[in-house]
Structures are given as C-alpha cells and as structure tokens.
Amino acid sequence: QQLIDPCDKILVLCSCGVQAKWRAMCGQGKVTLREDVLSPTDDMLIPFLNLFLPDMHQVGMLGKYMVAYFDDICSEKDVPSVFDIGIKYNLMKHFEELYFRILDIEKYQPGQVNHIEGISGDEYYTCPSGQALRKAIETFKDYQLENPDWFEKECVVSEEEVFTEASQ
C-alpha cells in the first residue's frame, strides 16, 4: 500500500450515484451501476470510502478532504452525510474557492481579495477547456431533462443483465 503524503488533498466529486452507493454502504439496499460492471476497475467508490473513512474523522485531517458537486446536474443532497462535517463546493460557482483551498492559500487577506483570472463561475468557459466543460454539463443537463429516470436505468440487478444487453 502506498503511503499518502499528509500534505496531499483528496477531492470527492459527488453525484446521485455517490449518494446511492453511500446509502447502500449504510444498509439501504445494494446498488450496482452499469458502469461498475463495464469498467475494468470495477466500483472505485466503496473501496475509497472503506480506506479513507477512518482517516477523514481524525483530528486535523478535515482540511485534507474536499467535496464538490456540479449544481447544474446534481445538488447538495447528492453529497453523502459522512461529508457533512466539511465544506461542500458547488461547481463551477465555488471553483475559485476550491482552487485556493487546494493550494492552501487564503482568498481573503487583510486589505485584499485574491482572484484567479478565468476560473470563476462567470469566467471559466472563456477558454477552450472551460467551453468543453460547460458544453458537457449542458449536454448532460439536457439529457437528464429528457430522461428523468436516467439514473434508475443505469442501476442493474446483476452483472448478467449488462452482459445480456451487450450481446443482443
């Protein structure tokens, strides 16, 4: 096992899938997503939570973990309760604040407010990568509106269900 430098930061990007997995971990029914079955790495969230949950609640470790969600395609209710002890960043609205937190720099200092040009919620889409991100968010938001049951369709009863669909 690789030891993690205590200075490292860990960003957990939450969605309804993360919330569903957390509820399953808490005994509220098993959740298997199509992506879990098709991915060569299987489900990465549950092993992450099992590995880092004990660490997250130790004194002085709270600053190591950051939690974010894309408000246009999910909401704060998609953040598992285990993360209620920390700050939840609404992306892209709070991206600049998250950026400063990652770097351990205070945005607000006596007599000045630090600002990073081009990464705020009103500016990030002015560069090519920001435009691509904004387009991806808008595309997925449209998909969600057209398919309100999209997440339920991604949940599968068994691995066989996925393989049967793939072979048809």
Q: Does pLDDT of 92 surpass 70?
A: yes
86 inside domain:
yes
* Number of domains, the chain: 1
Is pLDDT of 152 > 90?
A: yes
Structure tokens at 115: 């600002």
Six-digit token pair at 52?
Answer: 């880092």
- What are the helix (H) ranges across the chain? 16-25, 34-38, 45-56, 95-103, 128-146, 150-154, 159-167
pLDDT, tens digit (0-9, with 9 covering 90-100), for 108-150: 999 999 999 999 999 999 999 999 999 999 999 999 999 999 9
Provide the domain limits for residue 15: 10-167
Cα–Cα distance, 71 to 66 (Å, whole number): 16
Q: Which pLDDT belongs to residue 46?
A: 86
Q: Which amino acid is at 89?
A: Y
Total residues found in the chain within this entry = 168
**What b-and-e string marks burial along 62-83, b requiring 16 or more CB atoms within 10 Å of the CB?**
eebbbbbbbbbbbeeebbbebb
In a domain, 3, yes or no: no
Task: Identify whether 137 is part of a domain.
Answer: yes
Q: Distance between CA 130 and CA 117 in Å, rounded?
A: 13
pLDDT tens sequence across 48-78: 888 888 888 788 787 888 999 999 999 999 9
Closest Cα partner for 18 from 28, 5, 31, 2? 31
Within a domain: 147 = yes
- The answer as to whether 101 is a domain residue is yes
The answer to whether residue 2 is domain-embedded is: no
8-state DSSP, 85: T
Task: With respect to residue 88, please indicate whether it lies within any of the assigned structural domains.
Answer: yes
Report the predicted TM-score, pTM, of the whole model to 2 decimal places: 0.85
On whether residue 113 sits in a domain, the answer given is yes
Maximum Cα–Cα distance across the chain: 65
pLDDT of res. 1: 43
Cβ pair 15, 75 in contact under 8 A: no
